Amino acid sequence: MNEKLLDIKNLTIHYITDDGVVKAVNGIDIELNKGETLGLVGETGAGKTTTALGIMRLVPNPPGKILSGEITFEGKDLLKLPEGEMRKIRGNKISMIFQDPMTSLNPVMTVGEQLAEVIQIHEGLSNEEAIEKAKKMLEMVGIPGERHTDYPHQFSGGMKQRVVIAIALACNPQLLIADEPTTALDVTIQAQVLDLMKRLKEEFNTAMILITHDLGVVAEVCDKVAIMYAGEIVESASLEDLFEKPKHPYTLGLFGSIPNLEEEVERLNPIKGLMPDPTNLPSGCPFHPRCPKAKDICKIQVPKTTDLGNGHKVRCLIYEGLVEA
Amino acid sequence: MLKSRKLLAVLALMLSFVFVMTGCGKGSNQATEGGKDSIIVAQGADAKSLDPHATNDQPSSRVMKQIYNTLINTNEDMQIVPGLAESWEQKDEKTWVFNLRKGVKFHNGEELKASDVKFTLERMLASDKVNHIVEAIAKVEAPEDYKVVITLKEPFAPILAHLSHTAASILNEKAVKEAGDNYGQKPVGTGPFKFVAWQSGDKIELEAFNEYFEGAPKIKKITFRNVAEGSARTMGLETGEIDIAYDVEPVDKERVKNNDKLTLVEEPSLSVAYIGFNTNKEPFNKKEVRQAINYAINRDDIIAAVLNGAAEKAGAPIGPKVFGHNPNIKPYEYNVQKAKELLKQAGLEKGFKTTIWTNDNPVRVQIAQIVQAQLKEIGIDVKIETLEWGSYLDRTGRGEHDMFILGWVTVTGDADYGLYALYHSSQKGGAGNRSFYENKKVDELLDKAKATNDSKEREKLYHEIQEIVVEDAPVANLYYQTQNVGMQKAIKGFRLHPAGHHRLYNVSY
Amino acid sequence: MANVANLQTADVKKTKKRSMWVEVARRMAKNKMAMVGLGIIVVLVLLALFADVIAPYEEVVIKQNLSMRLKGPSAEHWLGTDEFGRDIFARIIHGARVSLKVGIVAVGISIFIGGSLGAIAAYYGGKVDNLIMRFMDILLAVPSILLAIAIVSALGSSLFNLMLAIGISSVPSYARIVRASVLSIKDQEFIEAARAIGANDFIIITRHIIPNALAPVIVQGTLGVAGAILSTAGLSFIGLGIQPPAPEWGSMLAGGRAYLREAWHVTTFPGLVIMITILALNLLGDGLRDALDPKLKQ
Amino acid sequence: MRKYITRRLLMLIPVILGVTFIVFSIMYMTPGDPAQMILGESAPESAVKALREKMGLNDPFIVQYGRFVKNAIMGDFGRSYATKKEVFAEIFARFPATLQLASVGVLVAVLIGVPVGIISATKQYSLFDSVAMLLALLGVSMPNFWQGLMYILLFSVTLGWLPSGGYGSFKHFILPALTLGTSTAAVIARMTRSSMLEVIRQDYIRTARAKGVEEKKVILKHALKNALIPIITVVGLQFGHLLGGAVLTETVYSWPGIGRLLVDAIKQKDTPMVQATVVFIAVTFSIVNLAVDILYAYVDPRIKSQYK
């Protein structure tokens, strides 16, 4: 159970555009064991999706560029694989579910074709066999198999996301990256889809990186959590540790901005200010302009990762003892 | 997957369709080197109809000339020679008798009979388009199989010349009746070549008629191609795609001459180019103004610049190839001083503003520009207006113009055709007299000359008419254009006909 | 109080609009190709404006000198002379006036007529829309060359009639563009809001809808100027263009085609100038399109 | 689908009626007397008058138009004033030349334009992209007739490889098709590029890549089909225009197509010919449009479902 599946070290991804360099991901580390689920949490623009695309090696280039780092998957560094090898991994060992089911299916191909395609590529089945398997996959996600000849526009949003999930799981991947798989859906559908993912993940023993900004979803599904801010992972821990003992001021801020049903509070405490401009990140700790506990040193000193034990890591000068909490 | 395969099928179908269609345009008579028995002739427009009574345009006539014969021919030297009529005699002032050649075959196998001639001329008289050519005829009789008697309304001296007009080509009664409305696309004549096919807008194919009464022609096949761009005709000659090109552009003449595979034949034609004045309008109602403009135009410049020298300065309104031409009339000299004096006499020493009209014919447009520049020298401010051909004819016919540029071809080669329409007061407007010129004396002389049978006497009358007309200057005659034909050097037996429709019977490679 | 409120909203609107155009200009300035296009157009406009200073019209552009016919480029005549011995360079510069004017006015005419019809059709919808758009379909089905010939021969051949003819033949495409963009705008909230405060149709159309539908029209217009210049040249080629001796690029090209081989420069330079102008307008139009539609750029 | 096609064809009727009315009005209002044109410049005025009367040209406009519509409904569009040929017989005699040139021209354009557009889009901002797009722009910017003259000068006169004009064999096709093809290719390449750029950015392309689909397949299978609608539109529009006759190209290459037929007829004030040609062009154009719309349904199932 504790076999290491994915080990990301010092991954840095920048987008180089006419308007400047967008520092999307700045030296992050992620570890994931087989069958484990990691929640990657952060505001819009924190670099979550770029991280995911980085793992898939699908960062659009130009303008995106993976500047440094290692992504070790099953002992191989994905960043050093030739494109052909990488293609064999995509959709097969690592697959990805994108944010918007409305736009992630090809509108001019039947869902059956789209499902069968991934099966054919990786399992070398004949046309008929692939279609058969596609039908089975559809049934598995709760869609009648005979609808494989339908086009995406004939499905509802929730059903489309089921199809996307079916495509992602068609080849029993070791790792599933789900990029906000439920944000575009109705609340009731969200729950159904989450349930489905949870069930299938357990059935296939798939590891998962769940990208979301919704801590509620994280609490329901994940084993581990990593909090991202401005392209850095500011805190990572097991689910219990993070929820019970959040350390980083940003994490604390996130919890402060969730309504709590159990406690009556006068008003929520949202984090002040906005995400920094990624082309022009603040010096020192990138969170310092918004941090309620920031001191002068935070503007200069870049925090290092502090290991608090039990896999609980945090990047904040407070835990380096340089700033008083 | 299935869908895209269907799409592919549709595409393939479309493709094969295109290629089948392409294949349909069978390999035409490609120009090849060596002793050929077919020739390709290029002219600037497609024929309109091959029914001589349906049209009177040059491109059609040039084709019809090969298909049909007329009773009488005017040869390349403008002499009247026998055609389908072996001989003829004038019984009295108004009666002519024609004896037909025997054993002449039409392309449909019928033999030529006097009844065909009667039918033809009567049909011609009923045609709106060409009846004016034979309007002098009162009746046509066919008393015997090979004898035709033509009675005129009044004495009309140039009747023989008019009967040699291609519009008076003799048709076969049976063929015309069989074809009905479509006769123009199924012509049947007695000529050396018979009609084969017509790809509209592109080409007309003729082939030798082996039973032709003068003997089968040497060339087996003639293709008339429609090549509108003058430069393209020359290029076609150079590349060998075209054997004979009519009307080589003036600028291209040197190129043809200097090419050792090609020759250029050039000769004066029956046409005159002129600038007409609206004598009904101020200030062109003043003779001095009209003469002044005549003096102010430098004809040499026009001929050099626009025609590359391919013309002769014009004095008299009919050229030297036309019967009745007065060789003593010299062109108005280029004399700006004199022009100014004349304007002063007319009380217009300060000049005036006026317009000159032309159609979109590039030669005329260029002439207009040169004349505009030249008249500026004597203070006349001319605006050029280019009109589309239809409105040009219509509006000059109605007399809305100040000045205009036109040409006239005396197709029959007889002074009557060239002078009557242009200067007789009964012909004002659309009939030809677009300068609205009126002179009692000229009217009288024109009528008299028309009815005079003695040719010496007629000639004298026409000489006098031309003197008056040139002095009165209702128009400024510019030049007699030389016509030319460019062809492959290997071609023999080609002669230019002054009227422009060259006979290809004697041509060979 | 009411005044103050008005003032404020006006201010807000103004700054918003200005910033949009500033942003567009900023994006344009970054597009090298569009700037090259703009540069060429500016040079042409300047040449056209100062044409008389560079080469006097009567003496150089119009006056013939038959002894200097068809001379190749030289120090005296940079681009050679034409069939009447006139300086081609001078005629091209003066021709820029005519060609640019024809292009701009013709497009102005089509934008005005087509734009109004399109806006009316979209705004009122229903029967009006149907009627106008079917009429546009009919107009589209009549070959533009017939329209042009008809207008020129019915109204006489003048520069304005030529512009009118070319303008009218592209009315349907502007009607369609404007209709489409008005349709997408008219149901948006700010129109509802304007109506709620009692603005009438005229004010809504002129103040709100037209400015917002402008972007695609500007792009199409830039390209349309190019198209109109090409059409004029084409009409000149088949003998229906500007009246001589006025210099116009298309008629220079058409007039010189007989000398294609004797004097290459007579057609080559006007042809090149047409090509460069169209190219510049296209570059500019493409640049504008990209700048107005940031979606297209990543 | 059949219902949809029928409805579209029925909609043609008012359009054609409108077209005939406009054309008839234009021909009626423009100066120039058909009778005079038939008889030529040297016909006596009495003959012109008689012919006018015979042709019914003196009747009021509405009577003349009514007569035309009545005859047209009976299938009789009349005979050409100039050539006395039946107008549709003449049009059908000319149409193959136009159809062939338009088809080959568009074929050339598609074969060049679509691949260039695709490569340009996939290699946006590369050297190939810049050069190809500059060439495409030049193709759009070069007046067709000038381009035609230059080709003749080079390929026929200087090199002597191809005929300078005319109609008939395959060789005659090459230059006109090239002239039409290159300028049309430019338009198609530009449209393909921008359409592909739009599509390549879509999420489903990323999905396809995430499935491990080969890049070539991603572009040709997933992207191209989605990018096809605007490309088909442009190809259809160009084809429709070319079917109406490319007057300038036809003139330069002495090509006996519809375009020259129309221009000649207009210049000769040959009303029946103009009328029939314009109706023919309008119908062809509409049919091509309809074909394009039907093609949409094959390409895009979303559109197909709308037609039902």
What mean pLDDT is predicted for residues D207-236?
88
- Chains C & D: contacts with CB separation below 8 Å: 110
Q: Is the pLDDT of residue B326 over 60?
A: yes
Cα separation of D308 and D306, whole Å? 6
Domain residues of chain D, as ranges? 2-73, 89-307
Quick one: angle between helices C2-30 and C32-49, nearest 10?
A: 100
SS3 assignment, position B270: strand
CB contact under 8 Å between D82 and B55, yes or no, is yes
pLDDT band at B7 (very low <50, low <70, confident <90, very high): low
Residue C26 backbone class (left: φ over 0; alpha: ψ -120 to 50; beta: rest): alpha
Give the per-residue pLDDT at B1.
44
Give the per-residue pLDDT at D41.
62
pLDDT digits (tens, 9 = 90+) for B198-225: 988 889 999 999 999 999 999 999 999 9
Amino acid at D19: V
A153-157, A242-246, B233-237, C59-63, range with the lowest pLDDT:
C59-63
Q: Is the pLDDT of residue C144 over 60?
A: yes
Asked if C30 is an interface residue toward chain A (Cβ–Cβ < 8 A), one would say yes
Higher pLDDT, A322 or A55: A55
pLDDT band at B33 (very low <50, low <70, confident <90, very high): very low
Cα separation of B166 and B499, whole Å? 10
Asked if B414 is an interface residue toward chain D (Cβ–Cβ < 8 A), one would say no
What mean pLDDT is predicted for residues A53-82?
86
Chain B nearest CA to C239, separation (Å): 5
B302-311, B318-327, B388-397, range with the lowest pLDDT:
B388-397
Task: Tell me the pLDDT of chain D averaged across its residues.
Answer: 84
What mean pLDDT is predicted for residues D106-125?
88
Which residue of D204, D213, D298 to mutate against A (max A Cβ within 10 Å)?
D204
Give the per-residue pLDDT at B462.
95
Q: Which of D26, D137, D285 sits opposite C146 (nearest CB)?
A: D26
Q: Is the pLDDT of residue B14 over 70?
A: no
Cα separation of A78 and B432, whole Å? 92
pLDDT digits (tens, 9 = 90+) for B403-442: 999 988 888 889 998 899 899 998 888 778 999 999 999 9
Give the per-residue pLDDT at C157.
67
Asked if B431 is an interface residue toward chain D (Cβ–Cβ < 8 A), one would say yes
pLDDT digits (tens, 9 = 90+) for B223-258: 999 888 888 888 889 888 899 999 998 888 888 999
Q: What is the pTM of this model?
A: 0.80
Cα separation of D237 and D257, whole Å? 19
pLDDT band at B146 (very low <50, low <70, confident <90, very high): very high
Please return the burial class of C15, using the count of CB atoms within 10 Å of its CB with bins 0-12, 13-18 and 19+.
Answer: exposed
Give the per-residue pLDDT at D42.
59
A138-152, B416-430, B464-478, C242-256, range with the lowest pLDDT:
C242-256
Asked if B338 and C100 count as a contact pair (C-beta separation under 8 A), the reply is no
Q: C-chain residues within 8 Å CB-CB of B304?
A: 66
Q: B-chain residues within 8 Å CB-CB of C239?
A: 360, 362, 386
Give the per-residue pLDDT at C2.
38
Number of Cβ within a 10 Å radius of residue A274: 10
pLDDT digits (tens, 9 = 90+) for A237-255: 998 888 888 888 888 888 7
Distances (CA, A) of B279 to A163, B282, B470, C46, D45: 90, 8, 14, 47, 19
Q: Is the pLDDT of residue D129 over 60?
A: yes
Which among C210, C224, C123 is positioned nearest to C169, based on CA atoms? C224
Q: Is the pLDDT of residue C244 over 80?
A: no
Q: Closest residue of C to B394, CA-based?
A: C153
- Joined together, the tokens standing for residue A158 give 């929730």
Asked if D170 is an interface residue toward chain B (Cβ–Cβ < 8 A), one would say yes
CB contact under 8 Å between C298 and A18, yes or no, is no
Chain D nearest CA to C196, separation (Å): 35
What mean pLDDT is predicted for residues B432-460?
92
pLDDT band at C20 (very low <50, low <70, confident <90, very high): low
Which among B482, B485, B477 is positioned nearest to B308, based on CA atoms? B482
**CATH number 3.20.10.10 given to D89-307:** no
Q: Is the pLDDT of residue D157 over 80?
A: no
Which among D5, D11, D24 is positioned nearest to D72, based on CA atoms? D24
Q: Is the pLDDT of residue A220 over 90?
A: no
* Residues in Cβ contact with C90 at an 8 Å cutoff, skipping those fewer than 6 apart: C54, C55, C60, C61
Share of chain A above pLDDT 70, in %: 94
Q: Is the pLDDT of residue B168 over 90?
A: yes
Tokens 């909203």, located at residue = C9
Domains and CATH numbers, chain C: 55-61+77-290 (1.10.3720.10)
Tokens 């082309």, located at residue = A279
pLDDT digits (tens, 9 = 90+) for A254-291: 877 666 556 555 555 667 777 788 778 888 888 888 88
pLDDT band at D128 (very low <50, low <70, confident <90, very high): confident
Return the exposure string of B423-450: e unless at least 16 CB atoms fall within 10 Å of the residue's CB, then b: bbeebbebbbbbbbbbbeebbebbeebb
- Chains touching B, CB cut-off 8 Å, 3+ pairs: C, D
Q: Is the pLDDT of residue C11 over 50?
A: no
Q: C-chain residues within 8 Å CB-CB of B228?
A: none
Give the per-residue pLDDT at C8.
39
DSSP string computed for B361-402: -HHHHHHHHHHHHHHHTTT-EEEEEEE-HHHHHHHHHTT--S
Amino acid at A26: N
Give the per-residue pLDDT at D203.
86
Give the per-residue pLDDT at B31.
42
SS3 assignment, position D237: helix
CB contact under 8 Å between C154 and D14, yes or no, is no
CB contact under 8 Å between B369 and C260, yes or no, is no
- Chains A & C: contacts with CB separation below 8 Å: 4
Give the per-residue pLDDT at A269.
65
pLDDT digits (tens, 9 = 90+) for A166-194: 888 888 888 999 888 877 777 777 788 88
Q: Closest residue of C to A62, CA-based?
A: C298
Q: Is the pLDDT of residue B395 over 50?
A: yes
Please return the burial class of C75, using the count of CB atoms within 10 Å of its CB with bins 0-12, 13-18 and 19+.
Answer: exposed
Q: Is the pLDDT of residue B28 over 50?
A: no
Give the per-residue pLDDT at B22.
45
Q: Is the pLDDT of residue B509 over 60?
A: yes
Give the per-residue pLDDT at B29.
41
CB contact under 8 Å between D138 and C275, yes or no, is yes
Q: B-chain residues within 8 Å CB-CB of D172?
A: 25
Q: D-chain residues within 8 Å CB-CB of C274?
A: 141, 143, 146
Q: Which of B17, B199, B431 sits opposite D45 (nearest CB)?
A: B431
Residues in chain C: 298
Task: Tell me the pLDDT of chain A averaged across its residues.
Answer: 84
Q: B-chain residues within 8 Å CB-CB of C257?
A: 229, 231
pLDDT digits (tens, 9 = 90+) for A19-29: 778 888 888 88
Give the residue ranges of DSSP H helices in chain C: 2-30, 32-49, 51-54, 88-124, 126-141, 144-155, 159-169, 171-186, 189-196, 201-203, 210-237, 249-256, 264-292
State how far Cα B6 lies from the chain centre.
Answer: 58
Give the per-residue pLDDT at A325.
64
pLDDT band at D167 (very low <50, low <70, confident <90, very high): confident
Q: Is the pLDDT of residue B15 over 60?
A: no
Residues 241-280 of D with CB under 8 A from B: 251-254, 256-257, 260-261, 267-269
Q: Is the pLDDT of residue C264 over 70?
A: yes
Give the per-residue pLDDT at B13.
61
A154-158, C145-149, D211-215, range with the lowest pLDDT:
C145-149
Q: Closest residue of C to D283, CA-based?
A: C141
Give the per-residue pLDDT at D74.
84
Give the per-residue pLDDT at B215.
92
Higher pLDDT, B112 or D266: B112
What mean pLDDT is predicted for residues C60-79?
79
Task: Tell me the pLDDT of chain C averaged across its residues.
Answer: 79
Q: C-chain residues within 8 Å CB-CB of B255?
A: 261-262
Which residue of C61, C64, C91, C260 to mutate against B (max B Cβ within 10 Å)?
C64
Chain C nearest CA to D19, separation (Å): 6
Which among B249, B201, B256 is positioned nearest to B225, based on CA atoms? B201
Q: Which of B18, B24, B241 sits opposite D107 (nearest CB)?
A: B18
Cα separation of A167 and A116, whole Å? 8
What mean pLDDT is predicted for residues D207-217?
87
Asked if D28 is an interface residue toward chain C (Cβ–Cβ < 8 A), one would say no
ipTM for this model: 0.76
- Joined together, the tokens standing for residue A26 give 């700045």
Q: Closest residue of D to C149, CA-based?
A: D266
Asked if D46 is an interface residue toward chain C (Cβ–Cβ < 8 A), one would say no
Asked if B408 and D40 count as a contact pair (C-beta separation under 8 A), the reply is no
Higher pLDDT, D160 or B192: B192
Cα separation of B97 and B85, whole Å? 10
pLDDT digits (tens, 9 = 90+) for C114-141: 988 988 888 888 889 888 988 888 887 7
Of the ranges A293-302, B151-160, D15-24, which is most confident?
B151-160
pLDDT digits (tens, 9 = 90+) for C162-221: 888 889 888 988 888 888 888 877 777 777 777 778 778 777 777 777 777 777 788 888
Cα separation of D238 and D254, whole Å? 21
pLDDT band at A48 (very low <50, low <70, confident <90, very high): confident
